[in-house]
Amino acid sequence: MDRYIDRETMLDLTVNFIPLGILAFFFVVFVAFDPWGWDPLFTGLALFIVAWHFLLLALLTWFSGRIIAKEEKSGEAHHTE
């Protein structure tokens, strides 16, 4: 079975995994430790902002992985050097 995302593509995408980990960490910290008390507006807004950016970055990483894998598979790089 041919893997869709190979090792080289994963290396290209590692620049997005660190921010995803940081966002996941802060989401867990906001939920587990509740540093400012439970205010539905503030807590909901903080969790929404962190979760929204996590989802957007995850989608961007997924689309980037698909595009990089497709370009590597076709062998046609579009460089403007």
Tens-place pLDDT, residues 19-76: 999 999 989 988 888 777 788 888 889 889 999 999 999 999 989 888 888 887 777 6
The residue that leads in pLDDT, 25 or 80, is 25
Can you list the alpha helix ranges (DSSP code H) found in the chain? 7-32, 40-74
What is the token pair recorded at 6?
Answer: 């190979």
According to the model, what pLDDT value does residue 36 have?
73
Q: Return the C-alpha torsion angle 53, 54, 59, 60, nearest 10.
A: 60
Dump pLDDT digits (tens) for 57-73. 999 998 988 888 888 77
Residues 6+ apart with CB under 8 A from 77: 71
Residues 6+ away with beta carbon under 8 Å from 54: 20, 23, 24, 27
For the chain, the domains span 7-72
- Pairwise CA distance, residues 45 & 26, whole Å: 13
pLDDT over threshold 70, residue 3:
no
